[in-house]
Chain A
Amino acid sequence: MRPQELVARLGGWADPVLLRLPGKFAAAVAQFAYKTAVITEVEARKLRHDPTELITRALQPALWLLVFGQVFTRLRAIPTGDLRYIDFMAPGILAQSVLFIAIFYGISIIWERDLGIVHKFLASPTPRAALVLGKALSASVRGLSQAVIIYVLAFFLGVKVCWNPLALAGVFSTVILGAALFSTLSLIIACLVKTRERFMGIGQVMTMPLFFASNAIYPIAMMPKWLQVISRINPLTYEVDALRAMMLAGGTSSFGLWLDLGVLLAAAAVLVAVAARLYPNVVR
């Protein structure tokens, strides 16, 4: 008996809730994904009209790799085992440049609030979580451009890059996830502080510990115990660990790739949920 016939036989009582539920759920998920994509599309269109931001953003990681990286590779001051320092730091700098883009992303919300754009989106029937996630993923679009730049730099600096397409896909997915995570954190801060001045202050204060209390430019083992604890709860550490495992030829993960990605995904999901609740506060 085919399912349709079964439904027909069972009559009206079985049909409504149980059998339509998966369909309804799928439709709701599709709707949510669509609305999220529309919000991301807005930002992508802006970038297409004016891509200068992407180019100016390339400067900072270039300087880190060229100046800091070259000097410390020669110094051999940081014990990175079998890895040359420049290989060790390249994934760290990728994570760092994505972090720097993402952590100040929330200020765009304050701009748009001052203009009245946020009001219009909030008065539309778009789910709040889709507004937040769409914004977060547009930070990811910017993050991807950083990844491309860093791959180019890494190629010229002779970093032992793993060019396996699957590994590349993994790196790019991790960048998307990392950018979404930290830009959502940034949105949350923007929703709480509400003014540009306070936001910039807090953004500056956050960047330092996130970056330096992580394994981005030195191994965690070098740190004093208390700092190691902080590093282990810092999501950036897991992002760097995943990037190091996938970006480098023969790269390995200290915590396990699945744990890394699991931590990032869980943290991003929690932050999006929190941000979706706080988002309407911006206009109150």
Chain B
Amino acid sequence: MHILETDALTRCFGKLKAVDAFTVSVEAGEVFGLLGPNGAGKTTVIKMLTTLLPPTSGTAGVGGFDVVRHARDVRRIIGYVPQMLSADGTLSGYENLLVFAKLYDLPRAERESRVRGALALMGLADAADRLVRTYSGGMIRRLEIAQSMLHEPKVLFLDEPTIGLDPLARQAVWERIEELRAGFGTTILLTTHYMEEADGLCNRVAIMHLGKVRAIGTPAELKASVGGDGTTLEDVFVHYVGAMLESGGTYRETSRTRRTARRLG
């Protein structure tokens, strides 16, 4: 059985089809990448899969639960790190996690040790009791990933997990994602527009453009489909999406992305 399955998932905003008949199946334990330029519909797909946005048509199931009819069950088994900064700067790292440990009904007796454990796993043990305001961008992202893993979700959604991070911080986040997959067998769906990130982390990727999936497969398959030796995922991307034209991203999205990048950077 596929742990994540969508069938012609579609979302319209007014006349605009933000996501058009998105159909994929993801195996348990897979790291699946959604690639695409700004405005391709990646975040909209994630919002539908995390039950934040009802689809206009089509269906999606996570862990065997329908995202519309069994939203509560879906929420119990997923973890989610939004693209924007989602840790609360006015609380300590420990408190940020404690709140979610309570909301996900972690047993009282295990709560403290699991929160401390998650912080240690993400290399934040020393900073646990500092206000998140004082963290660096990379630390905040790692904190957010720690929080999303607390309840050991079956599927983890990471929306642009490394946006605005410097190369070192990005490397650290990649290593943690790799560890989660290896250690817990977590299925991970991530969006990115960094090609080397997708190439290094993902078992399979889907390239989206203007709401539609243009290509889907393993990085190697996609490279082979486009050209011979020496083809990079970058070349594949350009082949399917065309040269990076200004294709989306409203003023508000741009200002949000920039602000997130600045706060994280």
Interface residues of A (CB under 8 A from B): 34-35, 38, 41-42, 45-46, 49-50, 114-117, 119-126, 280, 283-284
Contact of B52 among A34, A49, A284 (CB under 8 A): A284
Residue of A nearest to B263 (CB): A115
Whole-angstrom distance from the CB of A112 to the nearest CB of chain B?
8
Contact of B91 among A38, A45, A116 (CB under 8 A): A45
Contact of A283 among B47, B104, B260 (CB under 8 A): B47
Whole-angstrom distance from the CB of B17 to the nearest CB of chain A?
16
A44 to B102, CA, bound (A): 15
CB–CB A116/B82 < 8 A: yes
Whole-angstrom distance from the CB of A270 to the nearest CB of chain B?
24
CB–CB B86/A115 < 8 A: yes
Contact of B84 among A46, A116, A121 (CB under 8 A): A116
A284 to B95, CA, bound (A): 27
A117 to B50, CA, bound (A): 14
Q: Which residues of A contact B86 (CB under 8 A)?
A: 115-117, 119-120
**Contact A42 B75, CB 8 Å, known A123-B51, A123-B80:** no
A117 to B84, CA, bound (A): 8
Q: Which residues of B contact A126 (CB under 8 A)?
A: 103
Residue of B nearest to A195 (CB): B252
Judge whether B99 is part of the interface by a CB distance below 8 angstroms: yes
Q: Can you list the 10 inter-chain pairs with the closest CB atoms, starting with the nearest?
A: A116-B84, A116-B82, A116-B86, A125-B75, A123-B80, A119-B82, A123-B50, A38-B102, A125-B76, A46-B90
A114 to B259, CA, bound (A): 10
**Contact A124 B52, CB 8 Å, known A49-B91, A119-B80:** no
CB–CB B80/A120 < 8 A: yes
Whole-angstrom distance from the CB of B42 to the nearest CB of chain A?
15
Judge whether B125 is part of the interface by a CB distance below 8 angstroms: no
CB–CB A38/B84 < 8 A: no
Q: Which of A34, A115, A123 has the most CB of B within 10 A?
A: A123
Whole-angstrom distance from the CB of A127 to the nearest CB of chain B?
9
A87 to B88, CA, bound (A): 42
Query: Count of B residues near A, CB < 8 Å?
Result: 33
Judge whether B78 is part of the interface by a CB distance below 8 angstroms: yes
26 A-B residue pairs with CB within 8 Å: A42-B91, A42-B95, A46-B91, A49-B92, A50-B90, A114-B256, A115-B85, A116-B85, A116-B86, A117-B87, A119-B47, A119-B50, A119-B80, A119-B86, A120-B81, A120-B82, A120-B100, A120-B147, A123-B50, A123-B75, A124-B100, A125-B75, A125-B76, A125-B105, A283-B47, A284-B47
Judge whether B226 is part of the interface by a CB distance below 8 angstroms: no
CB–CB A125/B90 < 8 A: no
Interface residues of B (CB under 8 A from A): 47, 50-53, 72, 75-76, 78, 80-88, 90-92, 95, 99-100, 102-105, 131, 147, 256, 259-260
A-B contact count (CB 8 A): 75
Q: Which residues of A contact B91 (CB under 8 A)?
A: 42, 45-46, 49
Residue of B nearest to A130 (CB): B103
CB–CB A114/B52 < 8 A: no
Q: Which residues of B contact A115 (CB under 8 A)?
A: 84-86
Q: Which residues of B contact A46 (CB under 8 A)?
A: 88, 90-91
CB–CB B50/A45 < 8 A: no
Residue of B nearest to A41 (CB): B99
CB–CB B99/A42 < 8 A: yes
A35 to B260, CA, bound (A): 29
CB–CB B90/A122 < 8 A: no
Q: Which residues of A contact B50 (CB under 8 A)?
A: 119, 123
Q: Which of B52, B76, B80, B83 has the most CB of A within 10 A?
A: B52
A121 to B88, CA, bound (A): 12
Contact of A124 among B75, B90, B259 (CB under 8 A): B75
Whole-angstrom distance from the CB of B54 to the nearest CB of chain A?
8
CB–CB B52/A119 < 8 A: yes
Residue of A nearest to B79 (CB): A123
Whole-angstrom distance from the CB of A113 to the nearest CB of chain B?
9
Contact of A116 among B75, B83, B99, B131 (CB under 8 A): B83
Q: Which residues of B contact A117 (CB under 8 A)?
A: 86-88
Q: Which residues of B contact A125 (CB under 8 A)?
A: 72, 75-76, 103-105
Q: Which residues of B contact A120 (CB under 8 A)?
A: 80-82, 86, 100, 147
**Contact A45 B95, CB 8 Å, known A50-B90, A123-B52, A284-B52:** yes
Q: Which residues of A contact B51 (CB under 8 A)?
A: 122-123
Whole-angstrom distance from the CB of A252 to the nearest CB of chain B?
43
Q: Which residues of B contact A49 (CB under 8 A)?
A: 90-92, 131
A34 to B106, CA, bound (A): 13
Other than A114-B84, A123-B50, give 4 A-B pairs with Cβ distance below 8 A. A46-B90, A46-B91, A50-B90, A119-B82
A115 to B144, CA, bound (A): 13
Whole-angstrom distance from the CB of A110 to the nearest CB of chain B?
13
